[in-house]
Structure 1
Amino acid sequence: MSVPAEERETVAWPADGYVAVVKQDCPTCRLVEPVLAGLPGLTVFTQDDPAFPEGVADRRDDTDLDASLALGIETVPTLVRFAGGVEQGRVVGWSRAQWAELTGVAGLGEGLPEYRPGCGSRTQDPDVAEEILVRTRGGSLRARRLEIAALEDEAEALFDRGFTDGLPVVAPTPARVLRMLEGTSRKPDEAVAVVPPNLAEATVEKVAINAVLAGCRPEYLPVVLAAVEAACTDEFNAHGLLATTWGAGPAIVVNGPIRAEIGMNWAGNALGQGNRANSTIGRALQLVIRNVGGGRPQEVDRAALGHPGKVGFCFAEDEEGSPFEPLAQSRGVPPGRSAVTVFAAEGPRGLADQISRTPESLARSLAQGLRSVCHWKLPGGFDASLVLSPEHGRTFREAGWDRARLHWELDELLLLDRAEITRGAGGIEEGVPARASDRPVPKFRPGGYMIMYAGGGAGMFSAVIGGWAGGPGGSAPVTREVDPWR
């Protein structure tokens, strides 16, 4: 484990001479005990037994591991030479030749083996590393501590206190939160967003806590941070999406190199379970909205039905296989950059067309699926997304259609005949009011649906994801770049 220099304890050792770090539990350290006793100008720091090694005049207790951390010790024994307070060289493990070269003392360790590799430093023990992390960096955490009784079950305690989405969560211990924060260089107290509905400030630390609860790995945190930023904009209108009785919730699609870096799924079952990054990133966003913003079901979240994806809905786009430019790039993100697009989403509905072999026929099938969003007789109100599968995408690739061409064709196919959608038409009272005009009505507002590409290589099935109201008062998709170095 490494600790930033500014967070290490100050340890004093001789400006000139040698420092050895050992532990009694290490066979190699015990092997070189006679060598240590015979080295002039030597200071020994011992990690586990202050009485070890015998025969050394300047022997110091390092059971708190401050010296080991300051020296960056990963293996014991380690021998370090100092001159003028500056390290001049070190040897890790036991090597007669290297120890003799470093010290200038001939005949060291006669009768001992030429080489032994040594043992892992106590700083590398998982339990000890966690304690060190909390001791050295725990002061940077500002969130309120939740006290749990010794005999209280962590999982049940978090259920009882309302921090879960109905499923078990990972207890956000200080060590786990600190490890999560290692996924970003942003400061823990930096403000990320103001989270509706309670308009509470979410700091990087608070987002990290909910990422732990969700089961994220630290490398997912930059994606979660970008998603929180996007979801808390006026354009996305998370408060409105929560307060509506419609069943949609936030969903995330990820583009760029970070998809592969964190192991996201854009292939088979891309919209389903089984991938840790997909599952936990979407869940972390929802937990931030719940735990920081106060968006709880049957309170501000007024959905009449909801859908299972409201636990968390996140997937990556298959950029390598797509016949189109990546979604984020079509929305203004420079090529090669990572980004998230947060959008309002119902549960996905499969759309099968196993016969169409021309782009014109397939586009008509897709248009019929999109027409069903909200209600097939209601135009202009709700947005939607279309997730195109590889087998369907192949049809458009072979015909040379790009994203813009498919959008243009779908726009034409989604002009609705007013006679079909007027109230009472087809024996259905739902619909639009009767008008004198017979001009066709567009199903979606301009820019009211997105096209994405993901899924397994077999199966002529795409998916329509209904959204929510678009335009003023509704929710618009929002794209934010992901900076893994922030």
Structure 2
Amino acid sequence: MRFALVLKKACDTCQLVGPLVKGLQARNELVVYSQDDPFFPADAEVIDDSDLERSWRWRIETVPTLILFDDAGSESRRLVGWDKAEWEDVTGSSFSENMPTFRPGCGSRTQDPGMPEKLTSKFDAYAVSAREISLGEGEDEMEACFDRGWSDGLPLIPPTRERVLRMLSGSSRQADEVVGLIPPDLVSCTIEKIAINAVMAGCKPEYMPVVIATVEAALQEEFCMHGLLATTYFSSPLIIVNGPVSRRISMNSKGNTFGQGNRANATIGRALQLVVR
């Protein structure tokens, strides 16, 4: 049998498992990956996974994680944390009576704040399909957004790959799904494009379902977005959000509804304006 074990030194449960690794490697085909110290466990053959590529590709969320592979190289079983009976069953080993029967694992470094989207951006070349624009050395990000005509007159949040991926995580819909055509040029609008504009508007990922619904509503033929964009009359879309989602994302529906001070109220509408600019 072939096994892979992912762990990190900064974890009490991994420290518990560490002394067992050398013996397991002697009896099984065991490959060990360490997320934070290539010399842990001591006296074992360890592969450095400090860049977290292997952990990311295996979707490791907790350490230690022991993975069993079949003869074809496909994962057949996964043990998370320490469960003495399960480890003995899978590895065919017998561990000391002094070993505890159970210990929960620790959070994988792949789950550190900001890390999931950073790793996806680094290791998945197709995670974001939009054209990337490189700025010159010393070029100010905020001013670059103004200079390229992306702004509505106010500063924007630069839509980096990591920020766009984080925004996309707020929706279960596919990034390349087309939600409609944006007038007047009838350009295809995808979920990814909405996420990019939501980032620039200052939205949080949890606003994404509302932002998407807002764009879809505005693109309905009955709404006549083309006429709204082309008219010389002073007009603007009004968005009404109803139901539990408005409370879940802390929208203001009481005093000063149309005023300042509420992020959801201000940025969801702004995202729509940026999408249709």
Global fold match (TM > 0.5): yes
Equivalence for 2:8: 23
Shift of 1:212: 0.9
Equivalence for 1:243: 230
Counterpart amino acid of residue 20 in structure 2: V
Question: Is the contact between residue 120 and residue 127 of structure 2 (CA under 8 Å) also seen in structure 1?
Answer: no
Shift of 1:26: 4.0
Quote the sequence identity (%): 52
Structure 1: gaps spanning 5 or more residues: 1-15, 291-486
Check if 1:46 corresponds to 2:31: no
Counterpart amino acid of residue 153 in structure 1: D
Structure 2 Cα separation of the partners of residues 31 and 22 of structure 1:
11
Encode CA deviations 1:268-306: one digit per residue, 9 max, x unaligned: 22232322222111111111122xxxxxxxxxxxxxxxx
Equivalence for 1:451: none
Encode CA deviations 1:387-424: one digit per residue, 9 max, x unaligned: xxxxxxxxxxxxxxxxxxxxxxxxxxxxxxxxxxxxxx
Equivalence for 1:90: 79
Match of 2:202 among 215, 231, 251: 215
Matches within 5 A, 1:222-241: 222-241=209-228
Check if 1:275 corresponds to 2:237: no
Shift of 1:36: 1.1
Higher helix share: 2
SS at match of 2:119: helix
Shift of 1:173: 0.8
Q: 1:125 to 1:150 in 2, by over 3 A?
A: farther
SS at match of 1:254: coil
Structure 1 Cα separation of the partners of residues 69 and 129 of structure 2:
39
Root-mean-square deviation (CA, aligned residues, Å) is 3.1
Check if 1:180 corresponds to 2:167: yes
TM-score by length of 2: 0.81
In our comparison, the structure showing a higher alpha carbon Rg is 1
Counterpart amino acid of residue 174 in structure 1: R
Structure 2 Cα separation of the partners of residues 113 and 151 of structure 1:
56
Counterpart amino acid of residue 105 in structure 1: S
Question: Is the contact between residue 214 and residue 272 of structure 2 (CA under 8 Å) also seen in structure 1?
Answer: yes
Match of 1:123 among 106, 110, 118: 110
Encode CA deviations 1:121-155: one digit per residue, 9 max, x unaligned: 12112343232121344414222212123422322
Aligned length: 272
Counterpart amino acid of residue 43 in structure 1: V
Question: Is the contact between residue 8 and residue 40 of structure 2 (CA under 8 Å) also seen in structure 1?
Answer: yes
Q: 1:255 to 1:95 in 2, by over 3 A?
A: closer
Equivalence for 1:258: 245
Equivalence for 1:366: none
Matches within 5 A, 1:62-77: 62-77=49-64
SS at match of 2:126: helix
Equivalence for 1:34: 19
Structure 2 Cα separation of the partners of residues 186 and 256 of structure 1:
21
Encode CA deviations 1:344-399: one digit per residue, 9 max, x unaligned: xxxxxxxxxxxxxxxxxxxxxxxxxxxxxxxxxxxxxxxxxxxxxxxxxxxxxxxx
Q: 1:82 to 1:242 in 2, by over 3 A?
A: closer
Higher strand share: 1
Check if 1:287 corresponds to 2:274: yes
SS at match of 1:249: coil
